């Protein structure tokens, strides 16, 4: 599950990397720069929470739109070097950080 603060951080980081305003990722406009950033944010969010339905609800979309975004992003990244560079800047956000357990800490 993904928290709202984690979701906001993903939106902010992706918007910064793609040079768009964060509210544009949650909006309905279909300018190419907005779409590319939104698709990256959806793919990252889906990877973090693992559910198309949850990701769709966060973006106020249908789960089919999230599925399409993930596929479209993979095609975009494979075909366009500029898109690949942008994706490389944000793909680290898709990794779920391991929980820190104080009991496991050793010196």
DSSP string across 28-92: ----HHHHHHHHHHHHHHHHHH--HHHHHHHHTS-HHHHHHHHHHHHHHHHH-HHHHHHHHHHGG
Residues 58, 45 contacting (CB under 8 angstroms): yes
In percent, how much of the chain has pLDDT > 70?
94
**pLDDT tens digits for 33-74?**
999 999 999 999 999 999 999 999 999 999 999 999 999 999
pLDDT at residue 106, rounded to an integer: 65
Say what the pLDDT of residue 96 is. 83
- What is the per-residue pLDDT for 47? 95
**Res 10 pLDDT > 80:** yes
Beta-carbon-side half-sphere exposure of residue 3 (alpha carbons within 13 Å): 4
């Amino acid at each position: 599950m993904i928290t709202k603060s984690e979701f906001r951080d993903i939106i902010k980081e992706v918007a910064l990397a793609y040079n768009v305003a964060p509210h544009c990722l949650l909006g309905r406009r279909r300018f190419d720069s907005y779409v590319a950033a939104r698709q990256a944010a959806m793919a990252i969010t889906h990877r973090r929470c693992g559910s198309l339905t949850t990701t769709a609800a966060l973006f106020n979309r249908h789960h089919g739109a999230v599925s399409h975004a993930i596929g479209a992003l993979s095609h975009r990244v494979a075909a366009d070097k500029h898109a690949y560079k942008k994706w490389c800047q944000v793909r680290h956000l898709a990794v779920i950080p391991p929980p820190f357990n104080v009991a496991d800490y050793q010196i």
